[in-house]
Amino acid sequence: MIENYFPILIVFLVAAGFVFVSLILTHLVGPRIQNPVKMMPYESGVDQVGETRIRFSIRFFLIALLFIIFDIEIIFLYPWAVVFNDFLSMGAFIFIEMVVFLVILAFGYVYAWKNGALEWE
Amino acid sequence: MNNLQSLSYYWPELLLVTTILAAVVYDLLTKPSESQRVGLLVFAGLVLTLFANWFTSAERNITLFLDSLALDPFAQFFKTIIIFSTLFVILISRKSNELRIYRTGEYYTLIAIMVFGMFLMVSAIDLIMVYLSIEVVSISSFILAGYLKQDQRSNESSLKYVIYGAFSSGLMLFGLSILFGLTGTTKFFEIQNVISGLDTSSHFALIIASVFILAGFGYKISAVPFHFWTPDVYEGAPTPVTAYLSVAPKAAGFALLIRFFHVLFTDAGLFLESENGIPTIPWPQVLAGISVATMTLGNLVAIQQSSVKRMLAYSSIAHAGYMLMAMPILSGNGVFAIMIYLVMYLFMNLGAFFVVIIVKNKTGGETFEDFRGLGWEMPLVGIVMALFMFSLTGIPPTAGFIGKFYIFAAVIKAGPSFYWLVFAGAVNSVISLYYYMRVVKVMFLEGESKEEHIFPSILESALIIILAAPTLFLGVYWAPIAEWITNSLRFFHQGI
Amino acid sequence: MDQLHNYLLIASVLFSLGLFAVITRRNAVAVLMGVELILNSANLNFLAFSRFGGMNFNGHIFALFVIIMAAAEAAVALAIIINLYNNYQSINVDEAGQLKR
């Protein structure tokens, strides 16, 4: 069965080989002329102005964090969806169970929203 | 029983979840300066949960949610201890100066979430529930330890806590995975059946799994050599949080440890000995060794401390060691001794930390220098602290003596093979006398007698008196507690 | 090739790499990466045992819960590291050393 995956291995080797060969070749064959102008960071032709390090805004982290948490909530929905039909014969309990779970997480969402975690983006 | 039927037995925890959600909403509605009101809401919710817990009686052991949680008097005992310690900590947090400049709505919500996690810990009889409950408690306490965002020591303590805690949980999870692989199931009682029938080829895997799982449990109760996070976290965290961490998660961790060992490795209290001439892991000796190491390290390092808070952290490590002394004997005596020690330990340890909070409110520091002359300046606090120090040492007629007495009695009754353990425990108690009496000496024998006496506020005074009274009273008349614990253990050895 | 001990071997290698990262690295985020490696090695263990033990679904469910707890733990740990950075201006774990031994 693993023989079916041989073409993928060959594609991988070709891609990696291409990258390595071109890097090594340019390193060996290219000319070496040092020039201070060549060493400066590139900024579309104009001179540099200001600091290169920006102040990292905390909002990026908050948005990523909220995404992870709600993505995980969705992960929990997948197994539930698979067994939903089998348990539906026992009544609406399985549906209410998951609704309660989502409501608890919705409380957290409203908390984050009202505390300004979703602002200025 | 399945999910729908279990819900009717689960309503204390449902009340607790409703309290958490109500606290989240109430936190949104209050202004930052009034955020202490969330604490009152959580307090009321916890009192309701306490009463609900008492009314949910079980006439036999019940398992809920398809054999993942156990509802038995043993779990109810620990839930009561946890709620009592939480109620005291919520009250003292209102008066602590460290938290005054922060919004405390989330603080109280996190404490309520920790209580829920600990409820799950003491009832867990499934490996998944063990892991989930330990993680819920750990993650909430990571945040609580780092709650003072502008204080560098608090940041450092939460960083160390998160690294050690996540790492230990990972180790424990690896052990759980090997145990699952050996037995093919995650439920305690089925694992017990499979383990007693395993042959020698899986012996090594069982050792590895047990060592790793013990790493996770040892981290929770600060046993040596998994204790390295305890002094730094206890010192850097806000003092109410330290008081809480030293009592409630430790009690829940012991409940989990007792249940785990009792169901998996013992047969109604006696550790499984060798079968077919092949020795199993010598659990009594291993646990006794860990206990001696924990006691000794806790006591020896506490002597060198110059900060009272850090000394109390090492002393709580030593007390975990004393409780572990009774772990090799998991029959009725040993578990009874651990449970009564936990009740006494709750009062004396919370009391000692509350006095540290009062002193910190007054002088801003927590070293022995700040305790100098406290007995003359604040006589109520001085006398009460002296009482707590006597009780922590184990001098009669205080509650600490009763706890130690039961532990020593349980170990002695187990036979001559454990006499060395009792000897080590006695030597360690004598060593601990030094640093506990150092506090009393600094409070009363240094500093001059003052004319005017300062008393802490009404709430603080009431709290330390409420904690000091049982410390003295239970040392003399402890029969109601003993009866309550015997009642809680009546179904413990039966299994499901 | 498709046998249980190969999967367990890979999981053990991952565990060792994660252990090395937690013990050795000075960058707090790198330590966190090591912890994630350890958790994922346990996940591999669960799934391997579940598959070769007759497709026992307990292992799959446990692995799902572990993924979720690992993400929640990483979120909290990163928030603590950000808090640390605000106070110390560095995420070197050796720099945070105010609490004495």
CB contact under 8 A, A61 and C67: no
- One-letter amino acid identity for B12? P
**Cα of B28 to nearest chain A Cα, Å:** 7
Domain membership of residue C94 (yes or no) is no
CB contact under 8 A, C75 and A65: yes
At residue B403, the 3 state secondary structure works out as helix
Calculate helix-pair angle for B458-473, B379-393, nearest 10 degrees. Answer: 30
Q: What is the pLDDT of residue B444?
A: 87
**Cα of C7 to nearest chain B Cα, Å:** 12
* Range with the poorest average pLDDT among B29-33, B296-300, B387-391, C61-65: B29-33
CB contact under 8 A, C71 and A79: no
d(C-alpha B295, C-alpha B340), whole Å: 18
Residue of B131, B130, B85 whose CA lies nearest to B111: B85
Q: Which of C20, C88, C99, C100 best tests the B interface by mutation, with the highest count of B CBs <10 A?
A: C99
CB B305 within 8 A of CB B299: no
Give chain C's domain count.
1
CB contact under 8 A, C59 and B180: yes
Per-residue pLDDT reduced to its tens digit, B96-151:
888 888 888 999 999 999 999 999 999 999 999 999 999 999 999 999 999 999 88
At residue B366, the 3 state secondary structure works out as coil
pLDDT averaged over every residue in chain A: 86
- One-letter amino acid identity for B145? A
Which of A 72-91 lie inside 8 A of C, CB atoms?
72, 75-76, 79
CB C39 within 8 A of CB C77: no
Q: Pairing between strand B69-71 and B266-267? A: unpaired
d(C-alpha B348, C-alpha B366), whole Å: 18
Tell me whether B24 touches chain A (CB under 8 Å). Answer: yes
Looking up tokens 């046993």, which residue turns up? B223
d(C-alpha B175, C-alpha B308), whole Å: 37
Tokens coding B232: 């730094």
Q: Could you state, in order of their start, the residue ranges of all structural domains in chain B?
A: 282-496
Per-residue pLDDT reduced to its tens digit, B334-386:
899 999 999 999 999 999 999 999 999 888 888 888 888 888 888 888 999 99
Determine how many CB atoms are found less than 10 A away from the CB of residue C78.
Answer: 18
Residue of B291, B302, B299, B364 whose CA lies nearest to B96: B364
Domain membership of residue C97 (yes or no) is no
**Cα of B162 to nearest chain C Cα, Å:** 6
Tell me whether A69 touches chain C (CB under 8 Å). Answer: yes
d(C-alpha B321, C-alpha B288), whole Å: 9
Per-residue pLDDT reduced to its tens digit, B469-484:
999 888 888 899 899 8
Which of B 118-137 lie inside 8 A of C, CB atoms?
127-128, 131-132, 135
Domain membership of residue C8 (yes or no) is yes
At residue B71, the 3 state secondary structure works out as strand
At residue B224, the 3 state secondary structure works out as coil
Residue of A57, A98, A63 whose CA lies nearest to A77: A98
* Burial class of residue B172, CB neighbours in 10 A (0-12, 13-18, 19+): buried
| pLDDT exceeds cutoff 90 at B174 | yes
- Measured CA to CA in angstroms, residue C88 lies from B317, B344, C11, C35 at distances of 30, 41, 36, 23
pLDDT averaged over every residue in chain B: 88
- Measured CA to CA in angstroms, residue A110 lies from A114, B24, B33, B450 at distances of 6, 9, 21, 55
**Which chains border C (3 or more CB–CB pairs < 8 Å)?**
A, B
**Which chains border A (3 or more CB–CB pairs < 8 Å)?**
B, C
Tell me whether B301 touches chain C (CB under 8 Å). Answer: no
Domain membership of residue C84 (yes or no) is yes
Q: Which of C61, C68, C79 sits opposite A72 (nearest CB)?
A: C68
- Measured CA to CA in angstroms, residue B367 lies from B151, B247, B310, B371, C63 at distances of 18, 22, 9, 7, 46
Q: Which of A104, A114, A115 sits opposite B21 (nearest CB)?
A: A104
At residue B333, the 3 state secondary structure works out as helix
Q: What is the pLDDT of residue B21?
A: 95
Q: What is the pLDDT of residue B34?
A: 82
CB contact under 8 A, A76 and C71: no
CB contact under 8 A, A72 and C64: no
CB B290 within 8 A of CB B218: yes
Give ipTM to 2 decimals.
0.96
Greater confidence (B197 vs B486) lies with B486
Q: Which of B3, B4, B28 sits opposite A111 (nearest CB)?
A: B28
Determine how many CB atoms are found less than 10 A away from the CB of residue C43.
Answer: 23
Domain assignment of residue C49, given as a range: 4-88
Tell me whether B25 touches chain A (CB under 8 Å). Answer: yes
- Measured CA to CA in angstroms, residue B455 lies from B70, B312, B358, B371 at distances of 46, 23, 10, 15
Q: What is the pLDDT of residue B277?
A: 47
**Which chains border B (3 or more CB–CB pairs < 8 Å)?**
A, C
CB contact under 8 A, B174 and C56: no
d(C-alpha B24, C-alpha B14), whole Å: 15
| pLDDT exceeds cutoff 90 at B67 | no
Residue of A91, A106, B333, B146 whose CA lies nearest to C86: B146
Tell me whether C23 touches chain B (CB under 8 Å). Answer: no
Determine how many CB atoms are found less than 10 A away from the CB of residue B6.
Answer: 17
- One-letter amino acid identity for B108? Y
What residues in C contact B174, CB-CB < 8 Å?
Answer: 15, 38, 41-42, 45
Q: Which of B4, B38, B140 best tests the A interface by mutation, with the highest count of A CBs <10 A?
A: B4
Tell me whether C7 touches chain B (CB under 8 Å). Answer: no
**% of chain B at pLDDT higher than 90:** 53
Domain membership of residue C95 (yes or no) is no
**Cα of A96 to nearest chain C Cα, Å:** 21
CB B392 within 8 A of CB B356: no
Q: Could you state, in order of their start, the residue ranges of all structural domains in chain A?
A: 2-39, 58-114
Residue of B60, B58, B92, B393 whose CA lies nearest to B241: B92
- Cα–chain-centroid distance for residue B386? 23
Domain membership of residue C96 (yes or no) is no
Q: How many residues does chain C have?
A: 101
What residues in A contact B25, CB-CB < 8 Å?
Answer: 107
Per-residue pLDDT reduced to its tens digit, B230-270:
999 999 999 999 999 999 999 999 999 999 988 887 766 56
Which of B 114-173 lie inside 8 A of A, CB atoms?
none
Domain membership of residue C18 (yes or no) is yes
Residue of B92, B136, B134, B113 whose CA lies nearest to B349: B92
What residues in A contact B17, CB-CB < 8 Å?
Answer: 104
Per-residue pLDDT reduced to its tens digit, A41-92:
666 666 666 665 666 678 888 999 999 999 999 999 999 999 998 888 887 8
Q: Give residue B59's pLDDT band: very low, low, confident or very high (50, 70, 90).
A: low
What residues in A contact B4, CB-CB < 8 Å?
Answer: 90, 93
Q: What is the pLDDT of residue C101?
A: 57
Q: Which long-range contacts (CB under 8 A, 24 or more apart) does A105-112 make?
A: A105/A69, A105/A70, A105/A73, A107/B21, A107/B24, A107/B25, A108/A69, A108/B24, A109/A66, A109/A70, A110/B28, A111/B24, A111/B27, A111/B28, A112/A62, A112/A66
- For every residue of A4-64, DSSP letters joined together read GGHHHHHHHHHHHHHHHHHHHHHHHHS-----HHHHSPPSTTSPP-S-SSPPPPHHHHHHH
| pLDDT exceeds cutoff 90 at B64 | no
Q: Give residue A5's pLDDT band: very low, low, confident or very high (50, 70, 90).
A: confident
**Cα of B114 to nearest chain C Cα, Å:** 15
Instruction: Read off the CATH number of the domain in which C78 is found.
Output: 1.10.287.3510
Phi, psi dihedral angles at B450 (to 5 degrees) = -105, 155
**Single pTM value for the model:** 0.90
Looking up tokens 């692989």, which residue turns up? B181
Question: Which residues of chain C fall short of a pLDDT of 50?
Answer: none
Q: Which of C64, C80, C84 best tests the A interface by mutation, with the highest count of A CBs <10 A?
A: C64
Residues of A with CB under 8 A from a CB of B: 90, 93, 97, 104, 107-108, 110-111, 114-115
**Cα of B337 to nearest chain C Cα, Å:** 33
Using only C-alpha atoms, what is the Rg of chain B? 22
d(C-alpha B309, C-alpha B322), whole Å: 20
